[in-house]
Structure 1
Amino acid sequence: MKQVTVPTLRVEAYAPLAGEAVVERIRALARPLVGLRVAHVNATAYGGGVVELLFPLVGLLNGVGIPTDWWVMEGTDAFFRVTKTAHNGLQGADVVIDGPMQETYREVNVANSRFDWDAYDVVVIHDPQPAALASLVEHRRGRWIWRCHIDLSRPNPGVWSWIRPYLTAYDGAIFSLAPYVQPDLSLPLVAIIPPSIDPLSEKNRDLDPAEVEAIVRRFGMDPRRPLVAQVSRFDPWKDPLGVVDAYRLVKREMPEVQLLLVGSMATDDPEGWTFYDRTLRHAGEDPDLFILANLHGINHREVNAFQRAADVIIQKSLREGFGLTVTEGLWKGRPVVGGNAGGIPIQVLDGQNGFLVESVEQCADRTQWLLQNPAERARMGGEGREHVRRHFLVTRDLEDHLQLLARLMAAPAAVEARTGLFVAN
């Protein structure tokens, strides 16, 4: 496995945004846990929501005195094709993990299991790729937690029955939403912890309006005309093709509108480039439709600028574990038109800070309404930022994790109830 270097972050720096009371609670929660050694393990150091979560969380855990490392498992192309299929199946796709695929999955996990796990008191394993590790490490000293970031509300039964035995080896699990907890997964501890964003990161910190305009112009967009944007992986569950169709409906009534689709290609997502090419073909030749990826020099600062330049953010997901790009858009004061799926409804409060939609036609209708009603658009954007400030900043995420660590270390192997740590209101 390969270690990811993460700079240490000071929780005090977040006080102006999260509040002094939050910082004091975090200090108090961390005090009894100082010196506890934690490892996080996932499948990539670049691209996707898990990476966005781990950088600030690991940095802040180190900052409050809990030594925390981040490791990335190594795998083959064949392995990542299997795990992408597993990811799709766990979100309900009609796929099969056959015998050879199961063997490929196990072989890579066996290779990654040869590691000094006893150096850590708590090991947190993220998503399906390294999920087998807990079952492969004998006589482990620490406590192990599986962190599921995907929409597990309606899994493919065959894929779920294949991976579930691996999960029973864990001391607990974390899910983003309560409906993702499967009734036949019996673990000592289950926590509900929605993801969060780092408001001080390059992707989310304030930018000078002049810089925002310069970046938008550099990539060919006109800052004087309406801009609609979706920022996400190029993935069928994110429905970029549906976003293009909705844009075309809006453009019939508002010829001046522009659409931007932008995403990064994660190293653990072999389908990304295939669906990127499919999106390009679906878009065709349209000078007002921009499709960008990291190969175009898109980094966090550019994404930040695009989200701030957009009049409306779309996240038309068909399945969505949580949707951090929704959080990012709301934080920047932009209303979001989001698919009524997964974690989007606890972020997008329909009619208050954006709209929830079920179809291309609804997406087009709500987007057009927002573009044509600038006062309501501004009001909704302000409500969205406040909703994120109260519920979805990394300080809340850190607080929830510290509570979980305390419960995990204090309880015997069989702890009592499944308890959610957070409920949005």
Structure 2
Amino acid sequence: MAYTGTPQPLTVHPRRPNAPPALPEARVTGADPLLLGSAVGPVRAAELDAAFHELREALAGRRIIDVNSTMNGGGVAEMLHRLQRYSRGAGLDAHWFTMRGDPAFFALTKQLHHFLHGADASGPPIDRAGAEHYAAVCEANAHALLDVVRPGDVVTLHDPQAAGLVPHLRRAGARVVWRCHVGADDQNLHTARAWAFLRPWLETADAYVFSREQYVPGWLAGRRVAVIRPSIDPLSAKNRPLEPSAAAAILSRIGLRAPADGDGDGPPIYRRGDGSVGRVRRDPTCLCSASPPPADAPLVVQVSRWDPLKDMAGVLTSFAEAGGSLDGVHLALVGPDVSGVTDDPEGGRVFAECAALWHRLPDRVRTRAHLACLPMADTEENAVIVNALQCSAAAVTQKSLAEGFGLTVTEAMWKGRPVVASAVGGIRDQIEHGVHGILLDDPRDGVSFAAQTSSLVGDHRLAGALGAGARRRVRENFLDDRQLLQQTSLYQNVARV
């Protein structure tokens, strides 16, 4: 039943006079979803293939379209690339556009992002003027999008940035799904404030998607709501098996590993998605490191956006105050190039705060701590660097203060790495404490964080057992075939409205 045809190119309607510029569209090469069978087995792959066949029939030539705020940086952009890739490979006419906005728009929507997490945040006033500016930006984006959206197309809008597009697309006859990738287990004044702002734009959507049931606000009772947990692609450059020698060569190339004595590290090469050989060429755009970690030093890694809720500064502080328990261990805090994530105005400030903290550390700690911003120009190169870091780590941490889901945890678990992570948000859905990793009840408890991390680095038997349990957990629950199955089911229901 595998689809072997070629998706049709996007039909563009004649542009209206004085129409706003077209929105940027991601160019994604399709991949046959049956390829996932090498990781999930033939039975699961066949089930997914059948689901795509049913969705093609339900759509009857209509398209599926995703709209978010950036093509680079963060889990949502990575997820959309993968879902689009397999959807196009299955024969769906799938497209992905990103919004345009000014700094004021992205500052306001980042503040809404924090509020939805239940956290306070500074930012522009969320008042009448702020709402009017948000509405104007969304209206301009909607007008540009309406040049390509046809009645009956299924359009998924992602997160607060795109919520304001809902009424415009519904009036044009599109079927509209709003997907929220963030949330809080316990609603509070901050979440109430965010929903009060967003609800007027969201009322007319055909369906809503959340990562956890706890994130669904009460006012959506009785509406079409799906809970779809994020997932990872086991075949991507970030998650494919990587030989230790290749990982070592890549980390040496970017300055996060010193060659071993007499070690002839090979070239920093990897296999790209199209089968060609890639070579890591770009240096980190920012690197705070006195010298590379020795080849035999245990490496603790946290890979995150430079976002205050990821608490990179807290990880660095806890590491510095650990005393002798982490002697000999090196820490790598790694995030994206802060100039390459256009929808996150906080990235530069957070990295600068971490760099200032690093410079103030005593020499005995600073020589074992490393901060790096990875280049974003080549997504596969960026992904394989993260792969090399995670699979080379003695332990992977995710000390988030709040977390929508936490795909960096999923990635590390798939690689069989022991994980120390905060018991917040979707991380709790991934890890059973002591079985698939270590959960921190209080993410602000730096003493406990350091102690738990030290225990994993020092106990190879425990680390191995947790890593093995983690990999099984991801295979059973968090690979892309499961998310694609849930998405195809939702789209069938929405397409038949």
CA distance in 2, matches of 1:45, 1:6: 11
Match of 1:56 in 2: 82
Match of 2:95 in 1: 69
Residue 39 (structure 2) pairs with residue 14 (structure 1): no
CA distance in 1, matches of 2:473, 2:321: 30
Mark the structure with the bigger radius of gyration.
2
CA distance in 1, matches of 2:295, 2:216: 44
Deviations 1:359-383 (A, max 9, x none): 2122111111111100110111111
Match of 1:179 in 2: 214
Deviations 1:196-243 (A, max 9, x none): 111111111111211111222331222301110100011111011211
Q: Specify which of 228, 245, 260 is matched with residue 332 of structure 2.
A: 260
Deviations 1:348-405 (A, max 9, x none): 2110121110121221111111111001101111111111111111111111111111
- Superposition CA RMSD, Å: 1.7
CA distance in 1, matches of 2:427, 2:80: 20
Q: Specify which of 112, 117, 141 is matched with residue 141 of structure 2.
A: 112
Q: Secondary structure at the match of 2:150?
A: helix
Residue 404 (structure 2) pairs with residue 404 (structure 1): no
Q: Secondary structure at the match of 1:223?
A: coil
Quote how far apart the aligned CAs of 1:54 are.
0.6
Question: Is the 1:39–1:120 Cα contact (8 Å) retained in structure 2?
Answer: no
CA distance in 2, matches of 1:81, 1:302: 29
Moved more, 393-402 or 148-157: 148-157
> Any gaps of 5 or more consecutive residues in structure 1?
413-425
Match of 2:278 in 1: none
Quote how far apart the aligned CAs of 1:406 are.
1.8
Residue 360 (structure 2) pairs with residue 294 (structure 1): no
Q: Secondary structure at the match of 1:261?
A: strand
CA distance in 1, matches of 2:119, 2:464: 38
CA distance in 2, matches of 1:74, 1:341: 32
Change (3 A) 1:138 1:385: closer
Match of 1:93 in 2: 119
Residue 156 (structure 2) pairs with residue 124 (structure 1): yes
Quote how far apart the aligned CAs of 1:92 are.
1.8
Question: Is the 1:168–1:186 Cα contact (8 Å) retained in structure 2?
Answer: no
CA distance in 1, matches of 2:436, 2:320: 24
Deviations 1:240-274 (A, max 9, x none): 12111222244522310100000113220010010
CA distance in 2, matches of 1:37, 1:372: 52
Question: Is the 1:217–1:223 Cα contact (8 Å) retained in structure 2?
Answer: no
Identity percentage of aligned residues: 36
CA distance in 2, matches of 1:76, 1:296: 21
Residue 303 (structure 2) pairs with residue 231 (structure 1): yes
Residue 82 (structure 2) pairs with residue 24 (structure 1): no
Moved more, 159-168 or 231-240: 159-168
Q: Secondary structure at the match of 2:218?
A: coil
Quote how far apart the aligned CAs of 1:296 are.
9.5
Match of 1:150 in 2: 182
CA distance in 2, matches of 1:32, 1:255: 57
Q: Secondary structure at the match of 1:123?
A: strand
Q: Specify which of 368, 371, 386 is matched with residue 303 of structure 1.
A: 386
CA distance in 2, matches of 1:295, 1:251: 33
Quote how far apart the aligned CAs of 1:275 are.
0.5
- Structure 1 residue runs of 4+, over 3 Å off? 295-298
Question: Is the 2:34–2:49 Cα contact (8 Å) retained in structure 1?
Answer: no
Q: Secondary structure at the match of 1:165?
A: helix
Quote how far apart the aligned CAs of 1:138 are.
5.5
Match of 1:363 in 2: 449
Match of 1:203 in 2: 238
Q: Secondary structure at the match of 1:174?
A: strand
Moved more, 397-406 or 26-35: 26-35
Q: Secondary structure at the match of 2:129?
A: helix
Question: Is the 1:312–1:371 Cα contact (8 Å) retained in structure 2?
Answer: yes
CA distance in 2, matches of 1:120, 1:409: 7
Change (3 A) 1:104 1:187: farther
CA distance in 2, matches of 1:23, 1:67: 21
Quote how far apart the aligned CAs of 1:317 are.
0.7
- Provide the TM-score with structure 2 as the length reference: 0.80
Residue 263 (structure 2) pairs with residue 191 (structure 1): no
CA distance in 2, matches of 1:18, 1:138: 37
AA partner of residue 434 (structure 2): G
- Provide the TM-score with structure 1 as the length reference: 0.93
Question: Is the 1:176–1:194 Cα contact (8 Å) retained in structure 2?
Answer: yes
CA distance in 2, matches of 1:354, 1:289: 23
AA partner of residue 391 (structure 1): N
Question: Is the 2:403–2:425 Cα contact (8 Å) retained in structure 1?
Answer: yes
Question: Is the 1:168–1:187 Cα contact (8 Å) retained in structure 2?
Answer: no
CA distance in 1, matches of 2:311, 2:72: 22
Deviations 1:268-310 (A, max 9, x none): 0010010000111122341211110125997111111000111
Change (3 A) 1:294 1:254: closer
Change (3 A) 1:108 1:325: same
Residue 67 (structure 2) pairs with residue 45 (structure 1): no
CA distance in 2, matches of 1:387, 1:372: 24
Match of 1:416 in 2: none
Question: Is the 2:375–2:382 Cα contact (8 Å) retained in structure 1?
Answer: no
Question: Is the 1:110–1:133 Cα contact (8 Å) retained in structure 2?
Answer: yes
Q: Secondary structure at the match of 2:331?
A: strand
AA partner of residue 56 (structure 1): R
Change (3 A) 1:140 1:296: closer
Q: Secondary structure at the match of 1:350?
A: coil
AA partner of residue 297 (structure 2): R
